[in-house]
Chains A and B, each alone.
Chain A
Amino acid sequence: AQSVAQPEDQVNVAEGNPLTVKCTYSVSGNPYLFWYVQYPNRGLQFLLKYITGDNLVKGSYGFEAEFNKSQTSFHLKKPSALVSDSALYFCAVRGFNDYKLSFGAGTTVTVRA
């Protein structure tokens, strides 16, 4: 069975500082990995995905994520956080031959001015 762990319920950073949101996964075979962001009273918005190729994936709003197969991780990063990045972030995984997307429990990011 596939699963995702987001070990931190909350991440707090100051505006302008680097932001990292951690994600580890478990899946049979090659993974497809996704990051979504959810603002209050909104649906999930797609940020980026890893399918194959370069381990560093760049996405929307200046976010990027690094796929590390040996550590089964897909951490989300942003070099300089903005107050507007404050939201709930979800990591999700699918197996190569699977169709079901499994989500982590989410990490609440708060960026203080």
Chain B
Amino acid sequence: EAGVAQSPRYKIIEKRQSVAFWCNPISGHATLYWYQQILGQGPKLLIQFQNNGVVDDSQLPKDRFSAERLKGVDSTLKIQPAKLEDSAVYLCATRREGAVSTDTQYFGPGTRLTVL
């Protein structure tokens, strides 16, 4: 089966600009996650969707970050306006089952964002 797809793979913007990332999950996967991975650190959860509903967005900086998952399939993550500290790799991960299952998360290749 095809893996998690993300685009773009790389993005360079100037601070205060806006940017959007796209994620297409593995077919049939109900749960979708967005992570932020800063260089030298492990991934940090930003937001979790189950189908098209938000399960957890407690770590999402809502003054500048937003995410949606229309129709419970593809998802977009937006940053507006970007700050220098937003430079990171943004990872999308998906899982077949719901929130507390033992199923495995599968990750996309990530989008590397550089804010100048």
Q: Could you tell me which A residues sit within 8 Å of B by CB distance? A: 4, 32, 34, 36, 41-46, 49, 51, 90, 92, 96-101, 103-106
Residues of A near B33 (CB, < 8 A) are 101
The tally of residues in B whose CB lies under 8 Å from a CB in A reads: 25
Q: Could you tell me which B residues sit within 8 Å of A by CB distance? A: 4, 6, 33, 40-45, 48, 55-56, 91, 93, 99-100, 102, 104-110, 112
Q: Which applies to chain A's interface (DSSP): helix, strand, loop or mixed?
A: loop
Residues of B near A104 (CB, < 8 A) are 42
A99 vs B97: C-alpha distance when bound (angstroms) = 11
Contact of A100 with B45 in the complex, beta carbons under 8 Å: yes
Contact of B107 with A99 in the complex, beta carbons under 8 Å: no
Contact of A43 with B48 in the complex, beta carbons under 8 Å: no
Residues of A near B91 (CB, < 8 A) are 43-44
